[in-house]
Structure 1
Amino acid sequence: MSPGGGRLDRTKLLAARFRAAQDRPYLATALYSVTVVESPHVPTMGVDRHWRCYVSPGFVDRLPVAQLAAVWIHEVAHLLRDHHGRADRLPVGQRRDHHRVNVAQDCEINDDLLADRLPLPADRIEPKTFGLPAGLLFEAYLPLLPARVCGGAHGCGPGEHDCAAGGHDCGSGAHGVDRPWEQGGSGGVSAVEAGAIRRETAHAVRAHVRARGTVAAGWERWAAQVLEPRVDWRRALTGAVREAAAWAIGAVDYTYQRPSRRAAAMRRVVLPSLRQPVPRVAIVVDTSGSMGDAQLAAALAEVSGVLRAVGVGGNRVTVLSCDAAVHVVRRVHTVGEVRLAGGGGTDMRVGIEAALRDRPHIVVVLTDGLTPWPAAPLESTRVIAGLIGTDAPQPPSWITSVTIDD
């Protein structure tokens, strides 16, 4: 029951969903995967992580069917774009203000829906509400929003716009923070099922484009991202180096340089202690003519951050500048100490061979991939290839490769 005693007009609400599915048939699977939950406590309509849609009876009463259909698509867009999953990956400082995150997400969605001529309610939030350009992701909008955000939908008077306490809330299916009106627990659509719905919807978008060519550009871009995902190479590179470092740290051995403390219990016997090495890392940088300075600078900066993240630094990082010959070998503390030279042909085998003289545990090779590689795996050394450019040829299978989007 609503505060005024009215019940949810399900006929009107479901008629709006039917209209949304009829007008945008490529979204039908997603729309009909959502479970309706009546709630007088939700401000308007909101979704949770399990694809349950909480609906205010009063909100349904106020809007005509055409606008309700547009709101249906708005809420489903939060789920299809995995806004709650992306919000979980935000820095803690940004993730804490779920209202602000929600506003940024609405900016990402509503500019696409308005371009698709959907009749969203007049109190909608969109990028131009804050003087921002259209077409960005919510992660880009978030830092661009003013200190106090309001889309005008929360009862603020002219010039007030102080909504930090709430009022605009699409639920945990958007910003990722559980709300009081949500049921919680399991049930609904699982994460695996949600992934399948996204892929099926993306295929439907592409099929609709081939048949009619009438899908809004925002949905077409989203479908391309789902069906042809671009790997976060920074995360992949961090994971590869972290895994190799863990392997090196696990390579414990006995040493007599520091005798075991148990030797005191055994007269005239010297016992060795276990040694756990700190990984030594060599970075071989391809400085041949096919590599650009901007590519190298960006890649080196990222590798520097990766090494700090896994606790490798100090004088345990050696950078080798190499084309068809090694030009500079330098131990560095920061990426600013790196000196690059070269510009000729390409043979990273020469750089790897030179790097091995320092007996590193990990060799990271930054290259465009247009190089020969060692014929066999290296003993006691892991090789990671940071391949700059999406068209870079792949190295042998025993080399861990990460494609760096230039």
Structure 2
Amino acid sequence: MKKWLNVLEQNKRLQAIVIAVYIVITFISLYLAQKSVVAFLLLLSSLLFLHFTTFSHRVKWVIGIVVLSVLLPLAASQGEAYQSYMEVATLVGIYIAMALGLNIVVGLAGLLDLGFVAFFAIGAYTYGIFATTQANNFMPFGQYPLSGESFWVFLIIGCIVAAIFGILLGIPVLRVKGDYLAIVTLGFGEIIRIIFNNLDKPVNITNGAMGLASVQPPKLFGLEFMYPSQFYYVVLVILLFTIFVVRRLEYSKIGRAWKAVRENEIAAQAMGIPLVRTKLMAFAVGASFSGMMGVVFAAKQTFVDPTSFTLLESITILVMVILGGMGSVPGVILGAALVTILNLQVLTELTNWLNQLSLSGVVSIPDALSPAKMQRFIFGVILILFALYRPQGLLPAKNPRFDEKELKSGATNMVDGKEGAKDVYFNG
């Protein structure tokens, strides 16, 4: 088996054949078996196999975009489970974008943030307030709700507002780190949720615990976005943009500064890295992605209330980052996708299957151990197993190494998967 894998690794043509055959088989399986969760997951897993190939980044991007934008929707659209598949895929994209934002703060800059869902809530309420009649309670001008065309503008507004709050969070926590930083960010997340929950007096801005209902769906050229299959493409475009920006930042000057601060703040400051600006930039950039996805979430759900932005959501996003591999963009993408699909689809389907067996008398399950009650327990056991056997994450971050001779000669080639690079990675 190992010998075959070595041959496969060295032969790009053989890799192309294997990937093509796998994608075709899983596409046909999902096309014919519309309610098969296994077929849906197998087609998605082709992206993971694509990651381990030796193709250039450009080829991987093209194949991945074709699978996500054409093959997956086409294969899933032939049955009644189409919208449920697209709902799962849309939520996966939303959580991946948020996890990538948190990865900048936690994975690259080394700043433990337990209140990251607050920026998600800020983005959701930024659009929800003005896309409903709620803004009439305090706005002295304008007519509300705003039309669905304003959604595209609010993607930028939500991004900017969340970034501003990220800076406001960063200012008071510049002198704390570790456990104390976690406590401060935890408090920030709870404060934001409580404010939204109680901001219905004396001026009704957020409608308090009742939430904001009938949020205007997006519109584009007269087409109203109401179904998950439509939001899927919106999320896909934003996600691709997010991945591109994060990858560019990772190897930029600011990305190297974040990593230096993560490893040793004193040494980083001694090398001339401005700690205040570097940390604030991490909070702002990470929050902006979450705020943008908050706008999408509010428009998709057409309802926003404080119960969607609890501490558990922040912990779940942090679990995605840690499970995938802190500081690793492919790892965070895999971790977020895995956790979301486990919660939304795999464990739900397993619970339904066990319930059917219990109702049909095939197995006898006590009420105290009913599948519905044990779903979170099973999820916890899975996380413990991953933590024990993959403590650095599913796809750990890799630090670049440089060739000393090439550095002295003026060449600064760094291995990041690009063609022509001669250096090698080592696990960090």
TM-score after normalising by structure 2:
0.27
Which has the larger helix fraction? 2
Which has the larger strand fraction? 1
TM-score after normalising by structure 1:
0.28
